[in-house]
Structure 1
Amino acid sequence: MQGVQQFLSFAETARHGSFAAAARELGSAPSTLAKAVSRLEASLGVKLFHRTTRQVSLTPDGERLYRRCERVLTEIEDLHADAAGTRATVVGTLRVDMPIVYGRRVVLPVLARLKAEHPGLELDLRLQDSFVELVRDGIDLAVRIGALQDSTLVARRFDSQYLLLCASPDYVDRHGIPSTLAALEQHKAVLFRMPSSGRDRPWQLVQRGKAVNLQPRSELRLNDGEALVQAAVLGLGIVQLPSVMVDDELRDGRLVELLPSLRPLPMPISAVYPSQRLLPPRVRVLLDALTALGVTPPPPRPKTLKRRGSPPQ
């Protein structure tokens, strides 16, 4: 049976994506880790990493072994902490991946409170709207919006997000209020171009209890969510945005919600993390703090808007 050190060398290299970064974490030399991993590969008869001059990435065999190693090493760390009387101590680096706007407005304040409560906690935060591979990128926890694909990750739903059709009062004055899906298609749409694919994100609606995807024609596309909010406030057209992005604008009247009867079902917001029997305290406290937020209630249905202005041309 191989020594634990070889598996530890492998697991840290997988977590950091390079021998150099793993060596800094373990206080060792990169060449020492590389030799330990090579010996492990030789003894197991499988290739664990794809190697380049700058980084390493897991092979399918490596991913399976890493998931097993993570569970075992977590239990060892937990036993060590328990014996040392520090089981409840929240220390170490917490690596979190989250969507840009939701992360900035909802998750970051939670992390700030945790940092104040646990001075030994270090934060490594990535805000982006594309998905990352948690194991490959060494992420402890990711916040994801929408339906989750089947995977080996564990998911805990803790919130919901609502998509709203919005426009400025000035736009409503000039172009009128759409009352049906067919009328909506005749209005000016401001669309979000998804950075990951370069495609326009369709509007998600519900009509007669059935989900509908609408791909409206548009003369304006943006790849930034907050710019989309500003475009709507400036009267450039109708947008569909998460409620967390337009709460302030709806509250102070700079935007109004349109066609609330077509509002789609809320999208789940989940915390996902690698499958582990025992979670490190740093991850456990974040999960508990997110769960304690409670699910965001649906936005109130707006009062019936008076039909102002002429119908769209």
Structure 2
Amino acid sequence: MGTTMRNTQCPLAEEAVDTLPAGFSTSYAAVMTFIAVATEESFAKAGDRLGIGRSSVSRNIQKLEQQLGTKLFSRTTRSVSLTAEGEIFYESCKPGIDRILNAIEQMRDLRAGPPRGLLRISSTVGFGRKVVAPLLGEFRSLYPEVSIDLALSDKHANFTHDGIDIAFRNGRVDDGQIIARRIIPMHMILCASADYARKHGLPLTVSDLAGHRAVNFRFSSGRIFEWEFKVNGEMIKHAPVAPLTFNDADLVLDAVRNGQGIAQMAGYQVCDHIATGALVPCLQQYAPDDRSHFLCYLSKQHMPSRMRLFIDFMLDQIRRLDLQCAVEALPSASTYEGAR
């Protein structure tokens, strides 16, 4: 009886012992390679990131696909993309890889050395150019071993898929998985140039907008930004018909400054120009509720020191900047000669 039991259990024990190390040794490097290729969407760039050759990247992916019995990537001469099965595998693997990398970062941070490594930052185009980018030099002078990769886009980056550490976002943040730290208010202000106001006057009510030229902003999604106003406690939207439309906030500002029309823009863009008299605000009595600028990141139990220091630095430095227009303190358009 005892002999029979030993004979039936031995094959199972041997299988358990053989499969685990064999699976680990063939899978770990391959999974790390898989995550790199999925993130970079390129075998060559993944190899550069991992410090291995492209042929090694291809071998690791091939071994992983053989082990899983499924194709993970669709490859052409110009592009690399995940298959449906690859997407499922990516979503399952990425959290585990992140935890491993965070654990490694935590161990590194226990050492006395200065913070080091790469930070991938995402920001809206206008805020990134005006506010974030000018502060990077000072941050790197304090922490020269930290590298910054700043991507500007008005489309919200995916923290996991795009490998983003920190994102600067405007407006409302409704994702419960994202920690959103409010930086400063985001007041939307309708403006015209002083020259435009002299020639065409300024609107005194929302209904007056129909008689004025507008300059539109187009989101990366293709949607036109709708102006918002609060009238009698109710939020209303205005979709202006405009002879000029741009997908860049700075170009909208330039067009308004050059007298091409009026536009509703964020306070951080226009406050300096209002202060000098180059731009004239209007309809501020109908200004919409503050939408705010946020610094966002995913919750991390063990945050790398470079990330924590960057967050603290940016919150402090941006709040020190004079980027806020107090809407209630702005002069009324009715005080401007020629307003109508």
Secondary structure of 2:202 counterpart: coil
Aligned twin of 1:302: 330
Give the distance between the partners of 2:299 and 2:61, measured in 1 at CA: 23
Deviation of 1:149 (Å): 5.2
Higher RCO structure, 1 or 2 (CA under 8 Å, sep 6+): 1
Q: Does 1:148 align with 2:173?
A: yes
Give the distance between the partners of 1:105 and 1:131, measured in 2 at CA: 18
Aligned twin of 1:98: 123
Give the distance between the partners of 2:100 and 2:76, measured in 1 at CA: 26
TM-score for the superposition, normalised by structure 2: 0.78
Secondary structure of 1:148 counterpart: coil
Secondary structure of 2:128 counterpart: helix
Q: Does 1:185 align with 2:210?
A: yes
Give the distance between the partners of 2:54 and 2:192, measured in 1 at CA: 56
Counterparts of 1:80-91 in structure 2 under 5 Å?
A: 80-82=107-109, 85-86=111-112, 89-91=114-116
Tell me which of 245, 251, 255 is aligned to 1:227.
251
Deviation of 1:92 (Å): 1.8
Q: Relative to 1, partners in 2 of residues 1:297 and 1:233: Cα closer, same or farther, differing over 3 Å?
A: closer
Q: Does 1:247 align with 2:247?
A: no
Give the conservation status (yes or no) of the 8 Å contact 2:226–2:240: yes
Give the distance between the partners of 1:26 and 1:282, measured in 2 at CA: 20
Give the distance between the partners of 2:62 and 2:161, measured in 1 at CA: 19
Give the conservation status (yes or no) of the 8 Å contact 1:176–1:309: yes
Could you give the per-residue CA deviations for residues 174-215 of structure 1, whole angstroms, max 9, x where no partner exists? 333322211233222222233541x43221211122221101
Give the distance between the partners of 2:319 and 2:278, measured in 1 at CA: 28
Q: Relative to 1, partners in 2 of residues 1:273 and 1:212: Cα closer, same or farther, differing over 3 Å?
A: same
Q: Does 1:75 align with 2:99?
A: no
Query: RMSD across aligned C-alpha pairs, in angstroms?
Result: 2.8
Could you give the per-residue CA deviations for residues 124-163 of structure 1, whole angstroms, max 9, x where no partner exists? 2222333333433333322222223537554433333221
Give the distance between the partners of 1:279 and 1:244, measured in 2 at CA: 30
Gaps of 5+ in 1: none
Q: Relative to 1, partners in 2 of residues 1:124 and 1:115: Cα closer, same or farther, differing over 3 Å?
A: same
Tell me which of 230, 238, 246 is aligned to 1:206.
230
The count of corresponding residues between Structure 1 and Structure 2 is 308
Give the distance between the partners of 2:266 and 2:89, measured in 1 at CA: 38
Deviation of 1:11 (Å): 2.8
Give the conservation status (yes or no) of the 8 Å contact 1:187–1:238: yes
Give the distance between the partners of 1:46 and 1:272, measured in 2 at CA: 36
Counterparts of 1:273-284 in structure 2 under 5 Å?
A: 273-284=297-308
Give the distance between the partners of 1:76 and 1:202, measured in 2 at CA: 45
Give the distance between the partners of 1:105 and 1:303, measured in 2 at CA: 24
Aligned twin of 1:270: 294
Give the distance between the partners of 2:146 and 2:208, measured in 1 at CA: 53
Tell me which of 132, 140, 149 is aligned to 2:157.
132
Matched AA of 1:109: P
Give the distance between the partners of 2:339 and 2:151, measured in 1 at CA: 46
Aligned twin of 2:58: 34
Aligned twin of 2:13: none
Matched AA of 1:159: I
Q: Relative to 1, partners in 2 of residues 1:46 and 1:163: Cα closer, same or farther, differing over 3 Å?
A: farther
Q: Relative to 1, partners in 2 of residues 1:307 and 1:68: Cα closer, same or farther, differing over 3 Å?
A: closer
Give the conservation status (yes or no) of the 8 Å contact 2:191–2:279: yes
Q: Relative to 1, partners in 2 of residues 1:267 and 1:52: Cα closer, same or farther, differing over 3 Å?
A: farther
Aligned twin of 1:62: 89
Structure 1 vs Structure 2: percent identity of aligned residues? Answer: 30
Could you give the per-residue CA deviations for residues 216-260 of structure 1, whole angstroms, max 9, x where no partner exists? 233333333223223323333221111111122100101111011
Matched AA of 1:303: P
Gaps of 5+ in 2: 1-19
Q: Relative to 1, partners in 2 of residues 1:200 and 1:169: Cα closer, same or farther, differing over 3 Å?
A: same
The structure number with the bigger radius of gyration is 2
Q: Does 1:261 align with 2:285?
A: yes
